[in-house]
Structure 1
Amino acid sequence: SLKKNRADRVNLVGDIIISSGVIAYLGVFTLEYRAEAVKNWISLMKSFEIKSSEVFSLKEVLGNGVQIQNWFIANLPQEDFAVDNAIIMSNSDRWPLMIDPQMQGNGWIKSMEAELRSIKPTMDGNAQKRILKNAIQMGQPVILEDANETFDPMIEPLLGKNIEKKGNMWTIKLGDDVIEYSQNFKFYVTTKLSKPHFAPEICVKVTMLN
């Protein structure tokens, strides 16, 4: 309605600030903690006279109905928490690391990405490198499944998106090799651990989702 559109415009700046905070900081937390944090942020906004929606919804601010429906078709659980996680993932510049003991996120990614390649920590290092090298160069998605609390040093530059431009080409270091990096490449990480303890230097490189 016209009234709602006007309200949305008035609240736009505040809602975008809150959305940015949710994407940057709240992915790893529970539904209850997220709600409490957002409530506090709304109060803080008021103290600075920045208008925002009284009842904040990440889905209402950043969600795309067609995209969300496609996520559901790809087996994303039809609940707001899962939708919020998907929105956080799709709006973050960092690769997602999903705490996923029930494998729901894992299954969703596999349904969503037709050309998905899979690697696991238990795989031979050379096999992992070969899969990653081909996928990075060809712009294919890769999922690292069953991640442990520590990562192979070869993976860390990838987690941090340590890419460099050389001439007209983007490159990344993979092990001892510097290879061409396709901007179409995607990387997902899932772990079955319910309460993992990742090192701070890992946490700052990824978008953690609970």
Structure 2
Amino acid sequence: MKRIFSAALMMGCMAFSAPVEAAKKPKLSGLELQQIQSKDFEVGKDVSFPAVMSVLQDEGYRILSADKDTGLITGQGSSKGKLTYNILWGFGNKKRSPVVSAFIESVSENVSRIRLSFVMAVTKGGIYGQRSADEEPITDAAAYTDAFEKISKAIFVRQAMDSSGAGNVPVPATDSSISPTSQPVAATKAENAGQDN
């Protein structure tokens, strides 16, 4: 009877633990992670670096550091803490804040590679001053695809502004037959009509 009960208990434990194991995402290799975190753009670093910076700011990240020479940008998103209770330490707080790092490098003169890394930082603090921090890397390909689409749009806008800014400025036409002292035709006709009276 004990054996039947033990076997039933083990089967029940296995049945309940299987969905938990299935819910865990498989760990990505370094190469797989690099493939979802990196993308090449057919622009120089002078265009891609400010595009990444503006997209991160638009998404609510506070830029902590940025260096165009190294191509590194780090930022942190805003977060709200929530009150927690632990039976050992009592009341405390828990805060989740998104953190991003971007690396922009020149592959060639007109090609730059952008690599993004999104992380969710979890900070816990207790009433007695103890603190702990954990980081959970975000490996969802959709998050990176969305970010790269926004960067692509920002690059497009910057290129459009650059091409319309310098080369296509309208220059006023000059006509050598018009002297600076000559008056428009409508004014001349009005003056002639006034002289006839």
Instruction: Tell me the TM-score range normalised by the shorter chain.
Output: under 0.3
Bigger radius of gyration among the two: 2
Structure with higher helix content: 1
What is the TM-score when the length of structure 2 is the normalising length?
0.20
What is the TM-score when the length of structure 1 is the normalising length?
0.19
Higher relative contact order, chain-length normalized (CA < 8 Å, sep 6+): 1
